[in-house]
Structure 1
Amino acid sequence: MISSNPTVVSVQGVSKRFVMHKDKSVKERLVNVARSRPADDFWALRNIDIDVLAGSTVGLVGHNGSGKSTLLKVVGGIIQPTQGQVLRRGRMAALLELGAGFHPDLTGRENVYLNAAILGLSRAETERHFDAIVEFSGIEDFIDTQVKFYSSGMYVRLAFSVAVHVDPDLLLVDEVLAVGDEPFQRKCMDKIAEFQSEGRTIVLVSHSAEQVGALCDRVVVLHAGEIQHDGDPAKGLRILRAGYEADRQHAVTVETETKVPAVAPYFLRSAETQVSSTVSDELTIRLEIEINDPQPSWGIGLSIETSLGMKLYSMTTFDGAVQLPNTPGVHNLTVVVPDIRLGAGQYLINVGLGDQAGRTFHRVAGATSFESPRDDVGHGLIRLSPRFQITEGMHG
Structure 2
Amino acid sequence: MRSDVAVELRGVSKFYKRQAFSRQFLTLKTALLRGDLFRLLQPREVLVALDDVSLTVPRGVTLGIIGPNGSGKSTLLKIIAGITRPNRGTVRVNGRVAALIELGAGFHPELSGRENIVINGIMLGLSRREVRERMDDIIRFAELEEFIDNPVRTYSSGMFMRLGFSVSVHVDPDVLLVDEVLAVGDEAFAHKCLERMFAFKRAGKTILLVTHALGLVEEFCDVAVWLKKGRIQYVGDPREAVGRYRMDVARHETERLAQAAPVEATAVASSPSRWGDRTVEITDVELLNGRLEPTRVFQTGEPMIIRMHVQAHRPVRDFVFGIGVFSEQGVHCYGSNTHIERWEPIEMDGAGWVTCAIDPLPLLAGLYTLDVAVHRRDGYPYDYHHGLYTFRVHNPLGDIGLVRLPHRWTFSPNIRIVEKADAGEPAAAVGHGGGP
Report the CA distance between 1:209 and its aligned residue.
0.9
Report the CA distance between 1:236 and its aligned residue.
1.0
Structure 1 residues 195 and 104: alpha-carbon distance in aligned structure 2, compared to 1, 3 A threshold: same
Kept in 1, the 8 Å contact 2:65–2:226? The answer is yes
SS at match of 2:303: strand
Structure whose alpha-carbon radius of gyration is higher: 2
SS at match of 2:136: helix
The match for 1:393 is none
The match for 2:287 is 271
Report the CA distance between 1:62 and its aligned residue.
1.0
Kept in 1, the 8 Å contact 2:20–2:41? The answer is no
Which deviates the most, 176-185 or 316-325?
Answer: 316-325
- Does residue 168 (structure 1) correspond to residue 163 (structure 2)? The answer is no
SS at match of 1:315: strand
Distance in 2 (alpha carbons) for counterparts of 1:14 and 1:144:
41
Report the CA distance between 1:21 and its aligned residue.
2.0
Report the CA distance between 1:187 and its aligned residue.
0.9
Distance in 2 (alpha carbons) for counterparts of 1:137 and 1:250:
45
Any gaps of 5 or more consecutive residues in structure 1? 276-280, 391-396
- Does residue 16 (structure 1) correspond to residue 35 (structure 2)? The answer is no
Distance in 2 (alpha carbons) for counterparts of 1:360 and 1:22:
46
Kept in 2, the 8 Å contact 1:268–1:287? The answer is no
Q: Which amino acid aligns with 1:45?
A: L
Match of 2:247 among 232, 242, 245: 242
Distance in 2 (alpha carbons) for counterparts of 1:80 and 1:45:
12
- Does residue 257 (structure 1) correspond to residue 262 (structure 2)? The answer is yes
Match of 2:355 among 325, 329, 332: 332
The match for 2:333 is 315
Distance in 2 (alpha carbons) for counterparts of 1:158 and 1:256:
48
Kept in 1, the 8 Å contact 2:321–2:337? The answer is no
Distance in 1 (alpha carbons) for counterparts of 2:105 and 2:78:
12
The match for 1:363 is 389
Report the CA distance between 1:153 and its aligned residue.
0.8
Could you tell me the TM-score, scaled by structure 2's length?
Answer: 0.73
Distance in 2 (alpha carbons) for counterparts of 1:250 and 1:365:
12
Mapping of residues 88-237 of structure 1, within 5 Å: 88-237=93-242
Distance in 2 (alpha carbons) for counterparts of 1:109 and 1:315:
50
Deviations 1:272-311 (A, max 9, x none): 3449xxxxx96432112356899x999633368xxxx9x9
Distance in 1 (alpha carbons) for counterparts of 2:248 and 2:4:
33
Which deviates the most, 259-268 or 40-49?
Answer: 259-268
Q: Which amino acid aligns with 1:364?
A: T
Could you tell me the TM-score, scaled by structure 1's length?
Answer: 0.79
Q: Which amino acid aligns with 1:16?
A: K
Report the CA distance between 1:161 and its aligned residue.
0.8
The match for 1:278 is none
Match of 2:76 among 71, 74, 77: 71
SS at match of 2:51: strand
Distance in 2 (alpha carbons) for counterparts of 1:351 and 1:287:
12
Report the CA distance between 1:380 and its aligned residue.
8.5
Distance in 1 (alpha carbons) for counterparts of 2:83 and 2:162:
21
Report the CA distance between 1:364 and its aligned residue.
0.6
Q: Which has the higher contact order (CA 8 A, sep 6+)?
A: 1
Match of 1:350 among 368, 386, 399: 368
- Does residue 300 (structure 1) correspond to residue 323 (structure 2)? The answer is yes
SS at match of 1:286: strand
Structure 1 residues 378 and 142: alpha-carbon distance in aligned structure 2, compared to 1, 3 A threshold: farther
Match of 1:7 among 5, 9, 17: 5
Count of equivalent residues: 366
Root-mean-square deviation over aligned CA pairs? 3.9
Structure 1 residues 114 and 370: alpha-carbon distance in aligned structure 2, compared to 1, 3 A threshold: closer
Structure 1 residues 60 and 371: alpha-carbon distance in aligned structure 2, compared to 1, 3 A threshold: closer
Report the CA distance between 1:347 and its aligned residue.
4.4
SS at match of 1:22: strand
Mapping of residues 278-297 of structure 1, within 5 Å: 283-290=302-309
Distance in 2 (alpha carbons) for counterparts of 1:23 and 1:155:
38
Kept in 2, the 8 Å contact 1:15–1:84? The answer is yes
Deviations 1:341-379 (A, max 9, x none): x9xxx94562322799x994403141x657569x95299
Structure 1 residues 129 and 291: alpha-carbon distance in aligned structure 2, compared to 1, 3 A threshold: farther
